[in-house]
């Protein structure tokens, strides 16, 4: 085949590819250079060689002490200490963010706006958003800028902007095809189409928490009313699907991916409802604060504040199974998200300035010093989502 | 490393240097040229690691065209190509301190570009969350750019993985073995993707003939 004249001609046409510029190439170069230069100027200064040498010497000393410890009867404790030091060192030596696993991008929100964090540690600024969330397939980000709701691409191109007289907050892009965005403006629940048109009021008197879209047919979502009512409504015509009065005011709502279970979290614990709003599970968790459901939806990750700090527990969504702690002794948690494959949980621990990756087997891997990653003055990066768990 | 890139004029290949007449040095000149180029690049990387924005800009200008064109061939969309190439450079900048200067810079960058372009092209094909009007814009026929209409049409029928292999082979001049190493694919897969692209293109060229 390779010897045929058509193939030879095809090959010769392809070989001419390098001789012609692609459309927009040189203009793009100037734009891109400004961005790359800005990223370069934000790099931390190179570590002096002397410090590297000191580090090497320290490592050699630790190994020597380790050998000595292993050869002495009382070496066990020293050995443990060495193991702990070495594991801590290897954890903190990782550049922050560069230790994220492949298979998705994290949406982070700092004081200066929202950023997409890629698995290799690269960053892309999306916009000056105080809150943000992924669209279901990660094609867009919905963000809040004061009284404005904006949809932008992950590279920061604004697709549309909507201004409201009252402060906008708690946006949520619908799953599936993603043709609706729900948000709160003051205490009203509103919905806008995915292209920024057909903005309309759905309910008044909504409590300040993110509405939960129910996956499956139609645009149905659940929100919490200021009086503690949990109501599921059709977002397009406003019809009530079901409503239930909650004993404790919800602090988070989420539907499982299959659309069969609604999980409602309050400061007293977790409650699970079926598609029609009938209770199927109640789990007491005093001090519960935040909720994240993995794509599989068989368990929920819940942060619980207590005397020993905040802990993250995995709560099975079926009766008869007990919650299991995933990590304990944290300070304030600033967001958590499951990886798109549902295998890892990312927890933003503000007080320790870390993102913690919790892998199967409850192995915890810290990404330390994340505050400096979004640039000077950007503050601690909150985790707002991990693309594309909604797809 | 086999290739050196100029800033705007695209790729100056070592192969073109190797075709110099034997009397003027031939292979010896090519080898010396390539070695000098490797040294220059290593020096630039070292200076960039030490904080020289000028050195980084030289590296950027030298490699932008290849990165952008490769992304363009995979995605056939100028805005997306710009995003991907720019992000690849930012990734490279962020990982610059960890970069081993003994290794060539270009394959490292091209690996990032091509993998990211494939991911973006794949996910674009899956995503249907924009409304019809936006989708229409996105689906609009891209300008042919470095490709003739027939070539563009033939390549458009291939998946992004195939287009990526074509870009690496014919645009960036990697050998199939180098492509296999870059993309972490079996060499047979690279060869079959190249063959399929050529076959499809040959088929179209045959149809055009009277």
Q: Do A22 and B127 touch (CB under 8 A)?
A: no
The answer to whether A9 contacts B205, with C-beta atoms less than 8 Å apart, is yes
Does the pLDDT of residue B20 top 60, yes or no? no
Cβ <8 Å between A36 and B86: yes
- Closest C-alpha among A190, A189, A180 to residue A151: A180
Q: Where are the domains of chain B?
A: 59-208
Q: Which residue ranges make up each domain of chain A?
A: 53-93, 106-386
**Nearest-CA distance from B22 to chain A in Å?**
24
| Residues A258-274 pLDDT 10s | 999 999 999 999 999 99
Helix (H, G, I), strand (E, B) or coil at A182: strand
Mind listing the pLDDT tens digit for each residue in A54-100? 454 445 544 444 444 444 444 444 333 333 333 333 333 345 787 78
A47 has pLDDT over 60: no
CATH topology of domain B59-208: Butyryl-CoA Dehydrogenase, subunit A; domain 3 (1.20.140)
Residues of B in contact with A159 (CB under 8 A): 134
Comparing A155-169, A360-374, B51-65, the range with the smallest average pLDDT is A360-374
| A30 and B CB contact within 8 Å | no
Task: Give the pLDDT of residue A193.
Answer: 93
Q: Does the interface ipTM go beyond 0.90?
A: no
What pLDDT is attached to residue A300?
A: 95
The residues that bridge with A109 in the sheet, in sequence order, are A114, A382
Average the pLDDT over each of A1-5, A141-145, A164-168, B170-174 and give the range with the smallest value: A1-5
Q: What is the pLDDT of residues B80-128, one digit of tens each?
A: 888 889 888 988 888 888 787 778 888 989 998 998 888 877 766 554 4
Whether residues A18 and B10 touch (CB distance < 8 A) is answered with: yes
Q: How far is A299 from B76, CA to CA, in rounded Å?
A: 42
Distance between CA atoms of B2 and A346, rounded to whole angstroms? 42
List the single residue in A with minimal CA-CA distance to B58: A33
Q: What is the mean pLDDT of chain A?
A: 83
Confidence of residue A148 (pLDDT cuts 50, 70, 90): very high
Helix (H, G, I), strand (E, B) or coil at A343: coil
Residue A43 has its nearest CB partner, among B93, B154, B172, at: B93
pLDDT band at A336 (very low <50, low <70, confident <90, very high): very high
Q: Which residues in chain A touch residue B126, judged by CB atoms under 8 angstroms apart?
A: 137, 391
Q: Which two tokens stand for residue A225?
A: 């009313």
For A370, the token pair is 């994340």
Q: What pLDDT, on the 0 to 100 scale, is given for residue B31?
A: 67
Helix locations, chain A, DSSP H: 5-15, 25-41, 49-71, 75-93
- Which of A14, A28, A95 comes nearest B68 by C-beta? A28
Which residues of chain B lie closer than 8 angstroms to A6, CB-CB? 201-203, 205-206
Query: What confidence score (pLDDT) does residue A72 get?
Result: 44
* Amino acid A89: pLDDT: 34
Termini Cα distance of chain A: 42
Q: What three-state secondary structure class fits A176?
A: coil
Cβ-based contacts of B64 with chain A (< 8 Å): 25, 29, 32-33
B133 contact residues in A (CB cutoff 8 A): 195
Mutate to test the interface with B, among A20, A37, A40, A116 (most CBs of B within 10 A): A40
State the Cα–Cα distance between residues A221 and A235, nearest whole angstrom: 7
**pLDDT value at position B29?**
63
Question: Could you tell me the pLDDT band of residue A22, with boundaries at 50, 70 and 90?
Answer: confident
Q: Hey, is the C-beta of A39 within 8 angstroms of any chain B C-beta?
A: yes
pLDDT at B123: 67
Residue A247 near residue A264, CB atoms below 8 Å: no
The reply to whether A61 touches chain B by the CB within 8 Å rule is no
Q: How far apart are CA A27 and CA A361, in angstroms?
A: 50
Q: Is B69 in Cβ contact with A17 (below 8 Å)?
A: yes
Q: Do A37 and B56 touch (CB under 8 A)?
A: yes
Per-residue pLDDT, A359: 86
Which residue in the block uniquely carries the two structure tokens 């504040």? Answer: A305
pLDDT at position B80, please? Answer: 83
- Percent of chain A past pLDDT 70, that is, above it, reads 84
A235: tokens are 């977002």
Q: Count CB-CB contacts under 10 A for residue A62.
A: 15
Closest-CA distance, B197 to chain A, in angstroms, reads 9
Size of interface A-B (CB pairs under 8 A): 193
Taking CB atoms and an 8 Å cutoff, what residues of chain A touch B15? none
Please provide the DSSP assignment of A274-335 as one string: ETTS-EEEEEE-TTEEEEE--SS-SEEEEEEEETTEEEEEEEESSTT---EEEEEEE--EEE
For B206, other C-beta atoms within 10 Å of its C-beta total 14
Comparing A58 with B37, the larger pLDDT belongs to B37
Which CATH class for the A106-386 domain?
Answer: mainly beta
Region of A344 (left: φ > 0; alpha: ψ -120 to 50; beta: rest) is: beta
Any bridge partners for residue A78, and if so which? none
Number of Cβ within a 10 Å radius of residue A251: 18
**Predicted structure pTM score:** 0.53
Q: How confident is the model at residue B210 (pLDDT cuts 50, 70, 90)?
A: low
**Does B57 sit within 8 Å of A33, measured CB to CB?**
yes
In tens, the pLDDT along A344-354 reads: 999 999 888 88
Q: Which of residues 303-342 of A touch B (CB under 8 A)?
A: none
The predicted pLDDT at position B158 comes to 82
CA-nearest residue to B171 within chain A is A18
């Amino acid at each position: 085949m390779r010897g045929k004249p058509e193939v030879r001609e095809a090959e010769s046409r392809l070989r001419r590819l390098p001789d012609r510029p692609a459309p927009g190439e040189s203009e793009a170069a100037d734009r891109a250079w400004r961005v790359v230069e800005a990223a370069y100027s934000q790099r931390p200064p190179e570590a002096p060689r002397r410090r590297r040498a000191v580090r090497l010497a320290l490592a050699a000393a630790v190994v020597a002490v380790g050998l000595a410890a292993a050869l002495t009867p009382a070496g066990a404790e020293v050995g443990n200490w060495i193991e702990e030091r070495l594991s801590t060192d290897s954890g903190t030596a990782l550049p922050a963010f560069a230790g994220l696993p492949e298979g998705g991008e994290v949406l982070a929100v700092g004081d200066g706006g929202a950023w997409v964090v890629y698995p290799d540690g690269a960053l892309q600024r999306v916009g000056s958003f105080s809150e943000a969330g992924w669209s279901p397939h990660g094609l867009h980000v919905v963000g809040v800028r004061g009284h404005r709701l904006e949809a932008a691409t992950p590279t920061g191109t604004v697709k549309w902007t909507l201004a409201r007289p009252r402060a906008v907050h708690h946006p949520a892009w619908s799953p599936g095809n993603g043709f609706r965005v729900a948000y709160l403006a003051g205490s009203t629940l509103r919905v806008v189409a995915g292209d920024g048109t057909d903005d309309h009021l759905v309910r008044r008197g909504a409590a300040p928490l993110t509405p939960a879209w129910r996956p499956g047919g139609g645009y149905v979502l659940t929100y919490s009313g200021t009086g503690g009512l949990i109501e599921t409504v059709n977002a397009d015509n406003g019809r009530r699907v079901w409503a239930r009065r909650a004993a404790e005011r919800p602090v988070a709502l989420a539907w499982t991916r299959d659309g069969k279970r609604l999980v409602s979290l309050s400061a007293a614990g977790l409650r699970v409802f079926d598609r029609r709003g009938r209770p199927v599970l109640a789990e007491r968790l005093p001090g519960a604060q935040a909720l994240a459901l993995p794509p599989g939806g068989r368990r929920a990750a819940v942060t619980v504040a207590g005397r020993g700090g905040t802990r993250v527990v995995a709560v099975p969504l079926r009766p008869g199974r007990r919650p299991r702690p995933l990590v304990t002794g944290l300070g304030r948690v600033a967001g958590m998200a499951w990886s798109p494959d549902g295998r890892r949980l990312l927890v933003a621990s503000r007080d320790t300035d870390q993102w913690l990756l919790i892998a199967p087997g409850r192995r915890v891997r810290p990404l330390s010093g994340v505050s400096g990653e979004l640039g000077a003055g950007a503050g601690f990066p909150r985790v707002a989502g991990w693309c594309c768990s909604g797809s | 490393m086999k290739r050196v890139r100029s800033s705007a004029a695209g790729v100056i290949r070592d192969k073109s240097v190797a075709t110099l007449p034997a009397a003027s040095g031939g292979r010896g000149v090519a080898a010396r040229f390539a070695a000098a180029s490797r040294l220059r690049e290593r020096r630039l990387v070292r200076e960039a690691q030490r904080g020289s924005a000028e050195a980084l800009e030289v590296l950027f200008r030298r490699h932008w065209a290849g990165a952008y064109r490769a992304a363009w061939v995979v995605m056939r969309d100028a805005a997306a190509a710009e995003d991907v190439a720019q992000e690849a450079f930012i990734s490279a900048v962020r990982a610059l301190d960890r970069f081993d200067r003994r290794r060539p810079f270009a394959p490292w960058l091209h690996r990032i570009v091509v993998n990211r372009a494939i991911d973006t092209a794949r996910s674009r094909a899956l995503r249907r969350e924009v409304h019809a009007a936006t989708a229409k814009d996105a689906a609009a026929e891209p300008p042919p750019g470095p490709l003739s209409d027939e070539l563009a049409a033939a390549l458009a029928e291939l998946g992004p993985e195939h287009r990526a292999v074509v870009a690496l082979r014919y645009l960036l001049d990697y050998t199939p073995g180098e492509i296999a190493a870059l993309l972490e694919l079996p060499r047979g897969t690279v060869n079959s993707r190249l063959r399929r692209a050529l076959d499809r293109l040959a088929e179209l060229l045959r149809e055009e003939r009277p």
